[in-house]
Amino acid sequence: MDKKPFVTLEKLREIERTYPTPFHLYDEKGIRENAVRLKQAFAWNKGFKEYFAVKATPNPFLLKIFKEMGCGTDCSSMTELMMSKACGFKGHDIMFSSNDTPLEEFAYAEKLGAIINLDDITHIECLEQTLGYIPETISCRFNPGGLFKISNDIMDNPGESKYGLTTEQMFEAFQLLKAKGAKSFGIHSFLASNTVTNEYYPMLAKLLFELAVKLKEETGVHITFVNLSGGIGIPYCPDQEPNDITAIGEGVRRAYEEVLVPAGMDDVAIYTELGRFMMGPYGALITKAIHEKHTYKEYVGVDACAVNLMRPAMYGAYHHITVMGKEDAPCDHMYDVTGSLCENNDKFAIDRMLPEVEKGDLLFIHDTGAHGYAMGYNYNGKLKSAELLLKEDGSVELIRRAETPRDYFATFDFCDILKAFDERG
């Protein structure tokens, strides 16, 4: 099985005449269709809402698409809150899930009417001191500790995670929050990242539903929502089976019917905070081969680098690569595909079997729609690329221009040390 690009070589050649490589390209049709599938999978829950994880792809043009699809936003910082506000999100359409949170960010989240999700029991006092009160609607992030396993496979290690409250702290926190005036409560948890299994969400849901029942019984609080957060992954490798969101939604429904309904809690809303699942497969980094090198290995040098996509350098993450126009050619050449940073880990692929790559070929690096552009940086003075949206009608819209040297030097505008600077150097 192979991955298919969502755009043709002819279309890319047309695009690059206006927008030179490298650039991130997003597929509007795929984004919208996927959002519909998610909504249908959880349609059995009247209060269901997806809060798109802004951190995954913080672009207002994309946020407005999700707003049109009935989603909210999941924010973790002041600027993400500001972007959400600018895009028309307000009130409980915003979830503020932060950690080690600056107090001014609590204040701004409350000003917007966002649901605040507390990461630590000590944040109750911080929040009250900042606002002068506790909001009527409040949420707490749960960390059960230990290892999280599915079918004896270790998925992650919550016990080593910096996030969330312990079981005992959840009960203490809910009692304290209730005493301070909170009336509507939520539970949030994130136990594993990028799971490619239909079992994760149902298992997490059952764990949180059981906790919700106990919290209600022992503290008397009114739990109005359970936030399953993110964790539903995507198949970066061609031989991986993708998650079936319909099966996942059905698994959560069964857990809901088994645990919450008998406890008289059939009004609890289900929330999700998906980023990678919502955007990952619907973005690609388009880059051009500009050099070839023959030393101890065979190298293809491209005009993108880890500034444009950090995941392979940072995590050793796999991203599939299609050499456009050579989809049917045999993959009989082994290459390291590299960028130009002064770091040896600046590689999009190592020992990757590809068709013969020639200078000028366009490479489609798959699954960069989430945590691609967002993780970019400016090491070596490299500039971030443009972001483009391939619209449903086949047209292309610029949704973020490429950085220029003037952007790079902008934070020196308080002094005249670079007064001689101009775009031509």
The whole-number pLDDT of residue 419 equals 75
The CATH-assigned architecture of domain 281-412 is Beta Barrel (2.40)
Please report, for residues 5, 43, 371, the alpha-carbon distance to residue 188 in angstroms, rounded to integers and kept in the order given: 35, 20, 22
**In the chain, where are the structural domains located?**
28-279, 281-412
Percent of the chain at pLDDT above 90? 90
The whole-number pLDDT of residue 192 equals 83
Separation CA 139–CA 174 (nearest Å): 9
pLDDT (mean) for 135-145: 95
Separation CA 19–CA 13 (nearest Å): 10
The whole-number pLDDT of residue 378 equals 95
In the predicted structure, residue 51 carries a pLDDT above the cut 60: yes
Active-site residue (options: 126, 237, 331, 342) = 342
Place 159 in a pLDDT band, splitting at 50, 70 and 90. low
The answer to whether the beta carbons of residues 211 and 187 sit under 8 Å apart is yes
> What radius of gyration, in Å, describes the C-alpha atoms of the chain?
23
Name every residue whose Cβ is closer than 8 Å to that of residue 371 and which is 6 or more positions away in sequence. Answer: 55, 56, 275, 276, 280, 311
Separation CA 178–CA 174 (nearest Å): 6
The whole-number pLDDT of residue 160 equals 74
Token couple for 234: 């995507």
Token couple for 288: 């051009």
In the predicted structure, residue 425 carries a pLDDT above the cut 60: no
CATH class for the domain made up of 28-279: alpha beta
Separation CA 190–CA 187 (nearest Å): 11
In the predicted structure, residue 291 carries a pLDDT above the cut 60: yes
pLDDT digits (tens, 9 = 90+) for 394-410: 999 999 999 999 999 99
Residue keyed to tokens 């919550």: 158
The whole-number pLDDT of residue 358 equals 97
Which residues are bridge partners to 352 per DSSP?
335
pLDDT (mean) for 125-142: 97
Q: What is the mean pLDDT of the chain?
A: 95
Main-chain dihedrals φ then ψ at residue 250, nearest 5 degrees: -70, -40
Picking from 87, 111, 86, the residue whose alpha carbon sits closest to that of residue 96 is 111
Separation CA 128–CA 118 (nearest Å): 12
The whole-number pLDDT of residue 9 equals 98
32 three-state secondary structure: helix
Place 156 in a pLDDT band, splitting at 50, 70 and 90. low
Name every residue whose Cβ is closer than 8 Å to that of residue 72 and which is 6 or more positions away in sequence. Answer: 49, 50, 51, 52, 89, 92, 93, 94, 95
In the predicted structure, residue 154 carries a pLDDT above the cut 60: no
The whole-number pLDDT of residue 158 equals 72
Name every residue whose Cβ is closer than 8 Å to that of residue 95 and which is 6 or more positions away in sequence. Answer: 51, 72, 73, 74, 75, 114, 115, 117, 139, 227, 271, 273
Place 15 in a pLDDT band, splitting at 50, 70 and 90. very high
- Respond yes or no: is residue 342 known to be catalytic: yes
The whole-number pLDDT of residue 162 equals 84
In the predicted structure, residue 155 carries a pLDDT above the cut 60: no
pLDDT digits (tens, 9 = 90+) for 141-153: 999 986 666 655 5
pLDDT digits (tens, 9 = 90+) for 247-288: 999 999 999 999 999 999 999 999 999 999 999 999 999 999
pLDDT digits (tens, 9 = 90+) for 306-350: 999 999 999 999 999 999 999 999 999 999 999 999 999 999 999
pLDDT digits (tens, 9 = 90+) for 171-211: 999 999 999 999 999 999 988 888 999 999 999 999 999 99
